[in-house]
Structure 1
Amino acid sequence: MVSVVILTKNEERDLARCLESLKWSNDVHVLDSGSVDQTIKIALDYNAKVSKHKFESFGQQRNFALEHIDFKNEWILFLDADEVVTKEFKEDLISSILEADDETVGFYCCWKMMLEDRWLKYCDNFPKWQFRVLKKGKAEFTDFGHGQKEGRVDGKLEYIKEPYLHYSFSKGWTQWIERHNKYSSQEAEARLDNCPPFRNIFNKHSSTRNPALKSWLIKVPGWPLLRFLHAYFFNLGFLEGSPGFIYCTNMAYHEFLISIKMRELKRKKRQVELKTI
């Protein structure tokens, strides 16, 4: 009933756990972007179909899958290798698809952020929603910042409320910090050059509201510190012990990197403008 696409690059640490949770699907695809470890072997060991394409962005990679992979099923679920489908998520996914009317062409999904085997419910502002399930030929993705959101949608989107698991820190903090240093550059450009209108902050759909909130809150003086205080104290992140403190601190640092990179981009643009005068 549901085909699955997993984006990979050097995911030997996480991929087996993800694939183990997908044995219920009769059509699992791994779209790899240049792995040099055991990722491909693991995928083949689990009888997943492997395709390859150079990574440009999350949105473009997912759209490449939609355009070039021959899916068996009408509905497609997109995952990353560090994500795991639970029994409850699978049941909610299938029941939601079976109950969907003809106008429904996709679903937003949410996740449980896991750190040191603890669900960071408060620190991570659960639930956060991402467009991850769609009907073949009825929708596609577009890039925003380092991630993606829904692009063209020929119908309406609903919600799958049962979460899957997200092990974002499974490769260790060194890898997480290196990755988010790159992500912060992409976020800085997106928030500066593609700032959504202020009215989107009040939109009922989080996929529209959250990009606007990110782009406008970063302009508030001292926002990285406020981000920490909001998550750790106001949202009760302190109840999640040391993992909660570590997560809130690093997310505040991530926002700090975005803010100083936006400042740098603004300075470069002003210098270019002055040279053209």
Structure 2
Amino acid sequence: MTLSVAIITLNEEENLRRTLPSLQFADEVIVVDSGSTDKTVELARSFGAKVYEEPWKGYAGQKNSAIAKCTGDWILSLDADELVSPELAEQLHILLPSNPPHDAYYLPRRNVIFGRWIRHGGFYPDSKLRLFRRGAATFGARLVHETITFEGESDELEGALVHYPYPTIADFVEHMNRYSGLGSEMLAQQGVVSRGYLTFVWNVVIRPLLQLKWNFWFRLGFLDGREGLMLHLYHAAYASWKYAKAWEVGKKKVAS
């Protein structure tokens, strides 16, 4: 059985230099690019990927477009900042030709943040449904943190994806600012705009602090050292920004 890998990109040259070499075992690599100005497209083609250049349709729309272009019996959906570990590559090499009993598989993910593999605080194994038979799954429509929609029995593999989302603090802040904006739009669409003052305090102050306490202390995030402390502290700030921005969106709608 053949395997296609689907990736979406926008100025991912640095990440692809790490990702593409880990995919040499795949039968096909599909890259859907949305206007990169660096060498993303040239680099992808140099590794034999089939590259399509399309306008941005949102995370889910773009990923579904990449999936639709795959011709393999199985599809592995990757983010550009993820790579396939040698253990996972070997497991796929054995599993796929054996006509697997399930139509979809979860993959554990190692998150390497600020240069450190984060093993605690809910960040490992961080399993994601990413491997599925062609036609069995798609990404559900969400502005951010899109997930695969699948109905049926699934299983989980042992080999891991390795994820490099935030090499630096500056990268983290930039991403969280963007994601909190998208997250706030989703909250506003759901009517979660914290109109009451006590609700505002709960969502913007208390909820993030409780999240910080839970992940850093009770889920042992402190065992990941300085990197763990910064990650959970800044992630709590992200949650605060998201609810504060949702309140701001709601305030503007009332004013208009």
Query: Normalization by structure 2: what TM-score?
Result: 0.85
What is the alpha-carbon distance in structure 2 between the residues aligned to residue 133 and residue 261 of structure 1? 34
1:39-78 pair list within 5 angstroms? 39-67=40-68, 69-71=69-71, 73-78=72-77
What is the alpha-carbon distance in structure 2 between the residues aligned to residue 25 and residue 6 of structure 1? 13
Counterpart residue number, 2:163: 166
Percent identity over the alignment? 29
Shift of 1:130: 2.5
AA partner of residue 244 (structure 2): I
| 1:249-269 residue CA offsets vs partner (Å, 9 max, x unmatched) | 111111111121122233344
What is the alpha-carbon distance in structure 2 between the residues aligned to residue 154 and residue 252 of structure 1? 33
- Residues 118, 70 of structure 1: alpha-carbon distance in 2 compared, 3 angstrom cutoff: closer
Counterpart residue number, 1:14: 15
Number of residue pairs aligned between Structure 1 and Structure 2: 245
What is the alpha-carbon distance in structure 2 between the residues aligned to residue 46 and residue 225 of structure 1? 45
Shift of 1:175: 3.2
More displaced stretch, 174-183 vs 133-142: 174-183
Q: Is the 8 A contact 1:224 1:252 kept in 2?
A: yes
Q: 2:222 aligns with which of 213, 238, 244?
A: 238
1:1-277 pair list within 5 angstroms? 1-67=2-68, 69-71=69-71, 73-97=72-96, 98=98, 100-101=100-101, 104-151=102-149, 153=150, 155-170=152-167, 172-194=168-190, 219=203, 222-271=206-255
Shift of 1:270: 4.4
| 1:191-249 residue CA offsets vs partner (Å, 9 max, x unmatched) | 44349xxxxxxxxxxxxxxxxxxxxxx85960111121122111111111111111111
- Residues 174, 94 of structure 1: alpha-carbon distance in 2 compared, 3 angstrom cutoff: same
Q: Is the 8 A contact 2:75 2:133 kept in 1?
A: yes
AA partner of residue 25 (structure 2): W
Query: Normalization by structure 1: what TM-score?
Result: 0.79
AA partner of residue 100 (structure 2): A
- Indicate the SS of the match to 2:24: coil
Shift of 1:114: 0.4
RMSD, matched Cα: 2.4
AA partner of residue 89 (structure 1): L
AA partner of residue 21 (structure 2): E
What is the alpha-carbon distance in structure 1 between the residues aligned to residue 93 and residue 145 of structure 2? 26
Q: Which runs of 5+ in 1 are unaligned?
A: 196-217, 273-277
- Residues 231, 193 of structure 1: alpha-carbon distance in 2 compared, 3 angstrom cutoff: same
Q: Which runs of 5+ in 2 are unaligned?
A: 192-201
